[in-house]
């Protein structure tokens, strides 16, 4: 497995592979990999086939963090990531630094961003106003550097996957976007690099995000009529906040295609939520 740090080297390699008809499967990550990422890499391996190339990028993208967020303490462990990438079947790790990705930022020599203006407005976009601009910009840049045929994203970041899918359509990137299922711990907690921040008392409480999705599913299943979204939201919020460390950021019911919020909840409605456990912000989602 090869580690590439320079943008120009990565682009040159990718161009050569594409010219020779080699399929490139791509998994963009911010590192500190877990079993969820491993499943994305394995999926990319299957897509690329045994003659293809699987590239995993590891880059903690400053542009998608707000000023008061966890950029400086975001967990990193390159040696462990390297092992996991190799075991999962990656061929290349692309691990650039900030100077490679945003040359001249702050000195006025970096000033171009990609902005999706519809799907990115609600939920994560409302709570983290510059987040999706950072995500779409870095993913567009990575696509131009790695030149993938297909890129795999996790369903845990459901809105991110939809925003990227829309960017790819709107800007005609020749990249197939694959969304792979969320991988969970045995108690239901969605795998996330940020779970590392949870202390021993917060960790069991964090399962409440998953429990609340199950609770909403049961409510929909047991009701013969559509449920009022506002009432259900209030009930679920109270359920979460029974955990002493938990504070709800948002609970949203919406149409998974349009991302428009719905007033009534039925089978097929999508739920997404964000909650703080202490200072750690976690997200999860599911179809009801």
For the CB of residue 28, give the shortest distance to ligand PAF in the complex, in Å: 4
What would the DSSP string read from start to end of the chain?
Answer: -EEE--HHHHHHHHHHHHHTT--EEEEEE-SS--HHHHHHHHHHHHHH-TTSEEEEEE---GGGS-TTSSTTT----HHHHHHHHHHHT-SEEE---HHHHSTTTTTTS--------STTSSTHHHHSTTHHHHHHHHHHHHHHHH--SEEEEEGGGHHHHHHHHHHHHHTT---EEEEEPPPB-TTSPBP-GGGGG--TTHHHHTTHHHHHHHHHHHHHHT-SSPEEHHHHHHHHHHHHTTSTTEEEEEEEEE-TTT--B-SEE-TT-EEEEEEEETTEEEEEEEE-
Q: Minimum distance between the CB of residue 145 and ligand PAF, rounded to whole angstroms?
A: 13
Q: State the nearest-atom distance from the C-beta of 223 to ligand PAF, in Å.
A: 34
Of residues 139 and 288, the one with the C-beta less far from ligand PAF: 139
Q: Quick one: 146 or 240, whose CB is closer to ligand PAF?
A: 146
Nearer to ligand PAF, 160 or 195 (CB): 160
- The residue (of 41 and 227) whose beta carbon lies closer to ligand PAF is 41
Q: How many CB atoms lie within 10 A of CB 108?
A: 7
Q: Is 270 a catalytic residue?
A: no
Cβ 35 to ligand PAF shortest distance, Å: 15
Window 49-68: residues binding ligand PAF (CB under 6 A): 61, 64
Residue in 34, 37, 131, 270 annotated catalytic: 37
How many residues touch ligand PAF under the rule CB under 6 A: the total is: 10
| Contact (Cβ atoms closer than 8 angstroms) between residue 270 and residue 286 | yes
Enumerate residues 131-150 that contact ligand PAF by CB under 6 A. Answer: 135, 138-139
Partners of 251 in the beta sheet? Answer: 273
Q: How far is the CB of 231 from ligand PAF (least distance, A)?
A: 33
| Residues in region 268-287 near ligand PAF by CB under 6 A | none
The interface mask with ligand PAF, positions 4-43, x = CB under 6 A, is ------------------------xxx-------------
Does the protein bind ligand PAF through residue 192 (CB under 6 A)? no
Query: Between residue 147 and residue 186, which ones bind ligand PAF under the rule CB under 6 A?
Result: 157, 160
* Active site residue ranges: 37
Q: Which residue ranges make up the site for ligand PAF (CB under 6 A)?
A: 28-30, 61, 64, 135, 138-139, 157, 160
């Amino acid at each position: 497995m090869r580690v590439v740090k320079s943008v120009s080297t990565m682009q040159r390699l990718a161009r050569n592979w594409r010219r020779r008809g080699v399929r490139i499967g791509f998994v963009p990550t911010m590192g500190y990999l877990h079993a969820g990422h491993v499943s994305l890499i394995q999926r990319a391996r299957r897509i690329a086939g045994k003659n293809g190339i699987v590239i995993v990028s590891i880059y903690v993208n400053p542009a998608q963090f707000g000023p008061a967020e966890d950029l400086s303490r975001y967990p990193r462990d390159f040696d462990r990531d390297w092992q996991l990438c190799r075991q999962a079947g990656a061929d290349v790790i692309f691990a650039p630094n900030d100077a490679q990705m945003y040359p001249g930022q702050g000195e006025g020599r970096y000033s171009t961003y990609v902005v999706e203006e519809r799907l990115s407005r609600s939920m994560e976009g409302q709570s983290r106003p510059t987040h999706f601009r950072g995500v779409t910009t870095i993913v567009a840049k990575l696509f131009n550097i790695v030149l993938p045929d297909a890129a795999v994203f996790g369903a845990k970041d459901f809105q991110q996957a939809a925003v990227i899918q829309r960017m790819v359509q709107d800007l005609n990137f020749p990249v197939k976007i694959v969304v792979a299922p969320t991988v969970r711990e045995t108690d239901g907690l969605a795998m996330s690099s940020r779970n590392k921040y949870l202390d021993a008392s917060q960790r069991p409480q964090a399962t409440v995000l998953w429990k609340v999705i199950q609770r909403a599913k049961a409510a929909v299943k047991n009701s013969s009529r559509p449920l009022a979204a506002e009432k259900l939201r209030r009930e679920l919020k109270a359920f979460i906040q029974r955990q002493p460390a938990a504070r709800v950021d948002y609970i949203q019911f919406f149409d998974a295609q349009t991302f428009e919020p719905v007033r009534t909840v039925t089978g097929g409605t999508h739920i997404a939520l964000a909650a703080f456990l202490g200072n750690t912000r976690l997200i999860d989602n599911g179809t009801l």
